A and B are shown apart, each in its own frame.
Chain A
Amino acid sequence: MRHPSDGTLRRLVDEPAGVADTDRSHVASCPKCEAGLAAARDDAATVALHFEISDISGREVDEAWQRLLANPAATGLAASAASAASAASAGLAGAAGAGGLALPGVPGVPGVPGAGGLASPGSAGRSARWRALLRSPVIAGIAVAALLAGAGAAAAANWLPIFRAERVAPLVIVPSDLVQLPELSGYGKLEITSAPRVRQVADAAAAKEGAGLGVPQVAELPRGVTGEPSYRVGDKATATFTFSAAKAAQTAAADGRSLPPMPAGLDGSQFRLSAGPGVAATWAEARGVPALIVARAVAPAAFSGGVPFETARDYLLSLPGLPASVASQLRSFSGDGTLPLIVKAGREESFTADVGGVQGTVLATRDGAMAGVIWVDDGLVTVVGGSLSTDEVLEVARGLTWQR
């Protein structure tokens, strides 16, 4: 009789009821198959030992469920829009972590699970979370990106404007590169000089007054989105970054690398980042998950305390931690006012579409769960996003009017 396959022998180890009687009888009387069964049993036991894990208690399940409900990624769009409204900091283009959407790559978009987000208004922990955001390699890396994307040379004068977002373009990053982006805090000191203070306000009139911007009016809500929106506003936010040669050398040394020589004048030089104010309207669902968000903020800008833009750009692009693919994309943005919008390769996709005569960048998660469109027009960056299709967000974006 033919010997049973290795797969059948393996099944005999832990699911013998699934094996035919004839095979079982054969194995019992065949030394070769018995040896094969013993080998299968040994290998299975070895692997099982390496796969041992501790039990998960009911309490841990409860805690995990609460964590899921509170996860910023679950309300990622709310966080994003609130941040857009707050225009938290110049050029801190958003990036999403696992499961999040790199949606509104505008100012300080959190999207990074665990980073806290800026969605919930009025909490005392906001400034801490905001600092945490800035410490995140992704966000801080994008602050570097914003500096790199700056336009024009800054001569030796006070706070010369070197960047004003005029458009957005996707910056495609593979996850492994994402974790390699340098942390800005490793090259100097980043200080929040003015926090965005995102807060919920009573109605459209209060939002208009609080932000000093028009509030959005949606011509036709997508199917399933109903009711009145809630409004959030955020103040203008500013941050200052001061280069430090000593800190940069220390960071590089800790990572076993050596820094390229820092150009004269860069040590101690300052850059100021600013964005906002902003306003967001959110149509929420049960459990606070946003169905639709429309947000607008004064576009991010960067200013130099004296160092020529090219000097800072060339040096930053030469940093050992910056992945080559990212550096090359940033180099192509350089000098034209493009705000880089992080798109995670493989998880999200982006394309451009016309929004009222302006080119918008559409982003969507590949699972189709969320989509958004972002564009810059006349110094204002606008985001429309939600648990919608790309067609739906574009429809809303094209039909927007602004109550001034």
Chain B
Amino acid sequence: MRERKDGVSFPRPDLEQVFRAAYPRVVAVAARVLGNRHEAEDIAQEVFLTFGRSAVPAGEATGWLSVAAAHTALNHLRTGRRRASREETVGAAETTAPDVAETVIARDERRRVRAALARLPRKQAVALVLRHSGLSYAEVAAALDLSPGSVGTTVRRAESALREELNRHAPSE
């Protein structure tokens, strides 16, 4: 362990403790955005690597990691579609432990959810995913610099927009 000129120790000493506590939630956040556990695990690795080099206070780690996972996964969703669709073709045949979501929701529907999520305003998308990943209203507010009162409004708008998008693109219509 050593300290850089800017006072940041690398890697940070609490990394393992934070990792073990927050990993399931970080994967869950990314998986909700991407609809794919394997890709979510990759995103989680990336997020923890960045966290390991950061000076984020341990007390803010969960919120920081969750927001970072959501943003990174959304970026991945928006910029990596071509690659993702390529890998999905290959990966589909290799999946041995299907997610619950995969067994419940048809692939086409899953794709539409992610496309709809990618079209939401970024703050709405992140708030939605964080709340559905178990962060309290107060935690979402702190993580996104919102007032606690506006979290419900933001999440509600996101859900409403997502529902509309899903209805609009539903195969029956």
Contact A222 B1 (CB under 8 A): no
Interface size on B, residues (CB 8 A): 65
Known: A15-B137, A48-B132. A53 touches B163 (CB 8 A): no
From A46, A52, A61, A389, contact of B104 by CB (8 A): A52
Contact of B61 with A by CB under 8 A = no
Contact of A388 with B by CB under 8 A = yes
Known: A51-B132, A54-B99, A285-B1. A64 touches B41 (CB 8 A): yes
Chain B residues whose CB sits within 8 angstroms of the CB of A212 once the complex forms: none
Against A, the Cβ 8 Å flags (1 = close, 0 = not) of B134-173 are: 0011100000000011111111110110110010000000
Contact of B28 with A by CB under 8 A = yes
From B11, B80, B153, B163, contact of A7 by CB (8 A): B153
Contact of A8 with B by CB under 8 A = yes
User: Who on chain A is nearest to B113 by CB?
Assistant: A50
Contact of B60 with A by CB under 8 A = no
From B1, B49, B159, contact of A286 by CB (8 A): B1
Q: How far is the CA of A387 from the CA of B19 in the complex (A)?
A: 21
Q: How far is the CA of A176 from the CA of B157 in the complex (A)?
A: 30
Contact A285 B160 (CB under 8 A): no
Contact B45 A49 (CB under 8 A): no
Against B, the Cβ 8 Å flags (1 = close, 0 = not) of A323-334 are: 000000000000
Chain B residues whose CB sits within 8 angstroms of the CB of A51 once the complex forms: 32, 101, 129, 132
Chain A residues whose CB sits within 8 angstroms of the CB of B137 once the complex forms: 11, 15, 18
Q: For residues 11 through 25 of chain B, which have their beta carbon under 8 Å from a beta carbon of chain A?
A: 11, 16, 19-20, 23-24
Contacting chain B: which of A66-74, A145-153, A159-167, A377-385?
Answer: A66-74
Q: How far is the CA of A370 from the CA of B104 in the complex (A)?
A: 43
Contact B5 A7 (CB under 8 A): no
Chain B residues whose CB sits within 8 angstroms of the CB of A180 once the complex forms: 82
Contact A10 B153 (CB under 8 A): yes
The 6 A-B pairs of least Cβ separation, nearest first, read A7-B153, A7-B152, A224-B2, A369-B53, A10-B156, A56-B24
